[in-house]
Amino acid sequence: MKPAVAKDADKAPRFWRDDALPFIEARSIADGREVCYTRHSHEHFSIGAITAGCSTYLHEQSESQVSAGTVVLMNPGDVHACNPLDDQPWSYLMLYVETPWLTDLQHQLGFSPDLAFRRFSTTHMRDADLFAGLKGLYDVLVDDQHDILRKHSAAVEFFTDVQQRLNPGDQPLREPNFKLERAAEYIRDNFTQLLKLEDICAAAQLSPSYLIRAFKQHYGMTPHAFVLNQRIQFARERLRRGKLIADVALEAGFADQAHFQRVFKQHLAATPGQYRS
């Protein structure tokens, strides 16, 4: 299977992926004013580079302005969003890396002795070498003239550099809240179903008022937003397999395709068709 790159228009989101390198995906946006994200999270690790202009960067409870030359990082599960700043033009590129692959690399480098993913404490930074390395890896990945060995080697080389530059050391993981984690796990196990708040509360043994307040504080989004986020991550995987958009919408738990299209674009700033192509 050849790498998939969406090229509907100059301003449309461009995605790159290749079945031979299933652990990594790339995208670029030429005009960030054309897209707008809701707060969301990913199961994978994300790293991006602002290539022109500036934008707002929401990460968990903080908000920053980021501009050309800035590298942004999102751990798995981190709630975030990047959006235009007063309709100013900006562009960026992103790499999405499967967490098990990066965890294994951390272990190989000696940063993850217990085989658990080590979170990065840095959320954004201006580092000319890191920025150039990220852009260089993106260029290698989307270039059809490079073979898989070259692309795989470049990915390992870049993320080794990331790990060594931003060594999280013994940064503590997010403080656990086992009842909230039970609520999140219940959602992950049942997100394609028509979930009721009382069912989530029963699974977590929490009252509705506490669940809503504490869940948002812990995960950065409400339980409902968490459900939608899980459905979109599920839909991404199905679309990557080439499944029909209408079928994916129903499988993911959306009542109709229009609702699916709207939520998908809020999360990925691209339509399901653009992502699937």
DSSP the chain: -PPEE--SSTTS-EEEE-TTSTTEEEEEES-GGG----SB--SSEEEEEEEEEEEEEEETTEEEEEETTEEEEE-TT--EEEEESTT--EEEEEEEE-HHHHHHHHHHTTS-TTSS----S--EEE-HHHHHHHHHHHHHHH-TTS-HHHHHHHHHHHHHHHHHHT--TTPPPPPP-HHHHHHHHHHHHHTTS---HHHHHHHHT--HHHHHHHHHHHHSS-HHHHHHHHHHHHHHHHHHTT--HHHHHHHTT-SSHHHHHHHHHHHHSS-HHHHH-
Residue 187 has pLDDT above 50, yes or no: yes
Q: What is the pLDDT of residue 127?
A: 93
Region 171-191 average pLDDT: 80
Which tops the pLDDT comparison, 4 or 248?
Answer: 248
Q: What's the token pair of residue 172?
A: 């503590």
Q: What is the pLDDT of residue 208?
A: 82
* This prediction's pTM: 0.72
Q: What's the token pair of residue 68?
A: 């050309």
Region 71-96 average pLDDT: 86
Question: What percent of the chain is modeled with pLDDT above 70?
Answer: 90
Q: What is the pLDDT of residue 95?
A: 96
Which tops the pLDDT comparison, 261 or 170?
Answer: 261
Interatomic CA distance for residues 99 and 181, integer angstroms: 19
Interatomic CA distance for residues 15 and 75, integer angstroms: 21
If pLDDT is split at 50, 70 and 90, which confidence band does 91 have?
Answer: confident
Q: What is the pLDDT of residue 64?
A: 87
| Domains of the chain from N-terminus onward | 4-165 (2.60.120.10), 178-276 (1.10.10.60)
Question: In Å, how far are 47, 91, 107 from 76, measured between CA atoms?
Answer: 11, 23, 17
Region 194-207 average pLDDT: 88
Q: What is the pLDDT of residue 277?
A: 78
Burial class (CB in 10 A: 0-12, 13-18, 19+), 138: buried
Interatomic CA distance for residues 121 and 166, integer angstroms: 8
If pLDDT is split at 50, 70 and 90, which confidence band does 35 have?
Answer: low
Lowest mean pLDDT among 23-32, 103-112, 176-185: 103-112
Q: What is the chain's mean pLDDT, rounded?
A: 86
pLDDT digits 0-9 by tens, 127-173 = 999 999 999 999 999 999 888 888 898 998 899 889 888 875 544 44
pLDDT digits 0-9 by tens, 217-260 = 888 888 888 999 999 999 999 999 999 999 999 999 998 999 99
